[in-house]
Structure 1
């Protein structure tokens, strides 16, 4: 059975990211799903302590949910990061999540990675209130490429635009269809 990790980094309870996360978890067939909601657990920033460097497998010394997730992210089959777009960029908690992947970066290796599993799937799904979706799509594609160091080399991105009210994305049939396609893909 495929192991899929869905990480929702939205600070808003009951918002569009929650609707997207629930839909993905419901529609991802034949997969073991672990859902992590950042706002429900304290997550510390990367300390740049470098204790993770020189290790054979990804590891983080911090005793928080990211410290637990690093080995799971290394061994999973797919990751979905759900983050709203704030001021043209991923949310602060999304950047915190990405920064903590530093423990998988291994500059002393030819691949610059100590990931033990490669070819994994990654989906970045972002609801946003305004702006042209194609601008944010390009940004998410560029961001997704950086996850290659963690072994996530097969990626898709989805921007659910024009969703301002909490939970409004659930009323957008086209977005829900695209979310279902990502759930089937992972």
Structure 2
């Protein structure tokens, strides 16, 4: 099993990355081959809404998304991690998801092979883990639209300073178990 994690935080070593790495460790301990991608290190444009991919089956933009598309197609499990900024995922995470439009086939069907699984990890400063529930639900529905089975999102609430996630043993355990479940089916 291959599990690929995408970190949508621009802050190296931040809470999002800490939680995603712990989930990846769980997946690796369950026998998965793992890869970690920092979206902030990739150079790609926003979706241009041109519709080229609807006819051609691929995006016409030639940028780092080309390699990311291949990774998404080849992986069995996806971990998508993002901080919550003003009630939404980070801008780079939103741009990444928007570019998934290229995976949409005619009549809003998915071009991705069935059987993929995903986990969503969100780090937020607000101490109420349910405050951005609709955003987490939207991400899950988007993944499910592409035929990807999504586990309940892991929300790290009340994480303000770099390193707060690593200090929360229960949260780290939950991240680890999420990755382990993702890899073991």
Q: TM-score range, shorter-chain basis?
A: 0.7 to 0.9
SS of the aligned residue for 1:151 comes to: coil
1:184 to 157, 180, 184: 180
Counterpart of 1:88?
A: 87
- The answer to whether the 8 A contact 2:165-2:171 is kept is yes
Q: Any residues of structure 2 matched to 1:39-118 within 5 Å, and which? A: 39-55=40-56, 59-106=58-105, 108-109=106-107, 112-118=108-114
Q: Which runs of 5+ in 1 are unaligned?
A: none
- Between the aligned partners of 1:154 and 1:124, the Cα distance in structure 2 is 8
SS of the aligned residue for 2:131 comes to: helix
SS of the aligned residue for 1:53 comes to: helix
SS of the aligned residue for 2:161 comes to: coil
Deviation, 1:174, is 1.3
SS of the aligned residue for 1:126 comes to: strand
Deviates more, 1:59-68 or 1:30-39: 59-68
1:171 to 167, 170, 173: 167
SS of the aligned residue for 2:53 comes to: coil
SS of the aligned residue for 1:52 comes to: helix
User: Which ranges of 4 or more aligned residues in structure 1 deviate by more than 6 Å?
Assistant: none
Deviation, 1:138, is 4.1
- After superposition, give the CA deviation of every residue in 1:33-57 in whole Å (9 maximum; x if it has no partner): 12110122222111223221134xx
Matched, 1:125 2:126: no
- After superposition, give the CA deviation of every residue in 1:96-146 in whole Å (9 maximum; x if it has no partner): 11100111122x33xx22424123211110111114211323430232111
2:133 to 114, 131, 137: 137
Corresponding residue pairs, total: 180
Counterpart of 1:20?
A: 19
- The answer to whether the 8 A contact 1:52-1:59 is kept is yes
- After superposition, give the CA deviation of every residue in 1:48-78 in whole Å (9 maximum; x if it has no partner): 23221134xx632323332212233133211
- The answer to whether the 8 A contact 1:122-1:156 is kept is no
Q: Any residues of structure 2 matched to 1:27-46 within 5 Å, and which? A: 27-29=26-28, 30-46=31-47
SS of the aligned residue for 2:125 comes to: coil
- Between the aligned partners of 2:135 and 2:169, the Cα distance in structure 1 is 24
Deviation, 1:13, is 1.5
- The answer to whether the 8 A contact 1:145-1:153 is kept is no
